[in-house]
Amino acid sequence: MDPAALGTGPVTLTIDGSVTVPPSSTGPITFTPGPHHSTGLLAAYASLSLNCVAPENAALQTVSGTLVLTENSATHLRGRLDLTTQGSTAGCPGGDTEAHLDFDVRR
């Protein structure tokens, strides 16, 4: 998330784009925003972390979804993330993913 968007109050951000994640997530992640992507988000991708051999090739994903922040203050983030990816997962080999996550964290 863009640091300038943190602490600015409740907001709903759209996730739309494509991402390339290097093998083992050791290098920079390249995110290309789609036409509906919100500027407050820098990147989004799916990664699996298990005891496995990391893939030799970069993971390529198309991502879509929403990040809803019901609280976005200097000290607290609360909301939900709905994310769908198409393509290879980063980390352990995998395919398309769908995630729905509620969160409530102190900053």
Count structural domains, the chain: 1
| Identity of the amino acid at 2 | D
Residues 54-66 have pLDDT tens digits of 667 788 889 999 9
How far apart, in Å, are the Cα atoms of 25 and each of 6, 36, 47, 78, 106? 25, 26, 9, 27, 26
- Number of residues assigned to the chain: 107
The pTM of the whole model exceeds 0.85:
no
Q: Calculate mean pLDDT across residues 1-26.
A: 87
Residues 30-75 have pLDDT tens digits of 889 999 999 888 888 777 666 667 667 788 889 999 999 999 999 9
Asked if residues 48 and 81 have their Cβ atoms less than 8 Å apart, the reply is no
Residues 6+ apart with CB under 8 A from 64: 15, 16, 34, 83, 84
- pLDDT over 90, % of the chain: 47
Q: Which domain holds residue 64?
A: 3-106
DSSP code at position 80: E
pLDDT category, 24, cuts 50, 70, 90? Answer: low
